[in-house]
Amino acid sequence: MKFSRRKALQTGVCIGVTSLTGCLNITTPFSSKLTVELLNYDDDPHTIDLQILRADGKQNSEATVHSGWHELPARDDEPSHRLLEDIVASDRYLIRARLLESENEVFDHYHYYPDCGGNSTDDKVGVKIEKNETKGLFIDFDQNSCS
């Protein structure tokens, strides 16, 4: 059986498209993940309500990728911390944080954009509970930079 160039080209394209179809959404061991570090710089313990939402979500229920309460003890000489390693895939998110037990409502949000893309696993955002004379008790965010 003899193949024409046209038939060989059609077969090659068909095989190529078929092989790529299953690879579009594969997560590899090298896919970048986001780590969240919760830090308490205050002398009192706190419970933080942390939500991570997809930036492109239409409704809260479909956008939520993480929602949980995390307890942080009071700081000693160093801030207390809790590391949530590789909690979600590194992507654009809205991160919301709220202290549950404070007298005044303390909350803030952060728009996270990945910076360590490619094969890096270094994407990290810090959620810090701090207190000073000017602001009182507040939440602050920081993000590592790889570029």
User: Tens digit of pLDDT for each residue in 80-130?
Assistant: 999 999 989 989 999 999 998 767 789 999 999 887 655 555 789 999 999
Name the pTM for this structure: 0.74
User: What integer best gives the mean pLDDT of the chain?
Assistant: 82
Q: What is the pLDDT of residue 1?
A: 55
At 21, is the pLDDT very low, low, confident or very high (cuts 50, 70, 90)?
A: very low
CATH number reported for the structural domain that contains residue 53 in this entry: 2.60.40
In a domain, 119, yes or no: yes
Q: Which of 18, 90, 26, 83 is nearest to 50 (CA)?
A: 83
The domain of 120 spans 26-143
Q: What is the pLDDT of residue 96?
A: 96
32, pLDDT greater than 70: yes
Residues above pLDDT 70, as percent of the chain:
73
CB 79 within 8 A of CB 132: no
At 19, is the pLDDT very low, low, confident or very high (cuts 50, 70, 90)?
A: low
In a domain, 20, yes or no: no
In a domain, 5, yes or no: no
At 61, is the pLDDT very low, low, confident or very high (cuts 50, 70, 90)?
A: confident
In a domain, 80, yes or no: yes
In a domain, 16, yes or no: no
In a domain, 58, yes or no: yes
Q: How many domains does the chain have?
A: 1
In a domain, 91, yes or no: yes
Q: What is the pLDDT of residue 22?
A: 46
In a domain, 100, yes or no: yes
Q: Which of 84, 87, 88, 106 is nearest to 97 (CA)?
A: 106
Q: What is the pLDDT of residue 3?
A: 57
Q: What is the pLDDT of residue 45?
A: 95
